[in-house]
Amino acid sequence: MAPLTRNRAAQGNIPQAINIKYYEQRSSAGLIITEGSQISPQGAGYPNTPGIYNSAQIDAWKKITDSVHKKACRIFLQLWHVGRISHPSFQPNGSLPVAPSAIRPAGEASTYDGNKRFVKPHALSLDEIPDVIDQFSKAAKNALKAGFDGVEIHAAHGYLLDEFIRDGSNKRTDKYGGSLENRTRLLVEVVEVVSKVWGEDRVAVRLSPLEPYGSMYDSNPEATFTHVIKKLNKFNLAYLHIRENTIEEVEDSDQYFDLKKLRQLFSGTYMVNGSYDLNRANASIMANESDLVAFGQLFIANPDLPVRFQKNAALNRPDPSTYYGGGERGYTDYPFLK
């Protein structure tokens, strides 16, 4: 089950009873990857998303992991820092969101008071970056306390680590900017500290090389992500998770390249995600284009998706109007097979 932001945490970014039911319903998955969970108050950028930075959040997540484990399912927590895709209303003391460079993304932030234009972020200083790395380390330790089976580092979709990787959002001239080596440095340092907590084989990384969200751009995405893969090959990761965008989803066709090349480069377990159905998923695995396939929208509408696949049963259709926020409708009320 792919990570899916659903905006249904309680006040204080604390998972609640409805979240326990949601994940327990989907425990027939071989692996659940949770929705992104902010590693600190600074890492937040959306309403009602869960965190993993205080004891109340740890205790609430523990109820979820216990429930999932009773169904013999494994569950990884996704560690999330949104970077510049935030708004001062989410930040401690109303401060600016942080990023590698002070470049405002196009678009609007979804806040508790409606949509608001993104702001120009604060460019992290060299002295501030160690604190971000420490936020990931502490969150990894908290995930361990909460009973997870591993963690997935969110380095995709225009959020903080992705912003450092791509040169459209990273204009730094210090050791975290410029060259490919420098732009991947923060991701590597985060993987290192999280691996010290979990062991490399319980740590995963998610990338989205073609994702345009958040005004993301790179002058040579194939070269950039080839370098990222080479750096990640130095770790014995649980898996590498690639969000595959079609050429239609990529706003600038010059950004597009064949992501199958990354499969050939990566030496470990390779997971893909992106509008797969059963037939496409099986074909991908049979052609050795992937080892694992993560399903998102299909799992939203079909809590018993593996059973439906096994029986070749009809699938419930998801309701996009209920994806983000709300209560049980469109969250825990999709029917199981009878």
Tokens of 230: 């080479």
Rounded distance between C-alpha atoms, residue 39 and residue 139, angstroms: 5
Helix (H, G, I), strand (E, B) or coil at 333: coil
Tokens of 285: 């695995």
**Alpha helices (H) in 101-203, listed in sequence order:** 129-145, 160-165, 180-183, 185-198
Tokens of 219: 């002058």
**Known active-site residue 323:** no
| Cα distances (Å, whole numbers) of residue 139 to 51, 113, 266 | 9, 28, 26
DSSP notation for 200-222: GGGEEEEE-TT--TTT---SSHH
| Residue from 22, 53, 159, 256 carrying the catalytic annotation | 159
Greatest Cα pair distance in the chain: 60
The catalytic residues are: 159
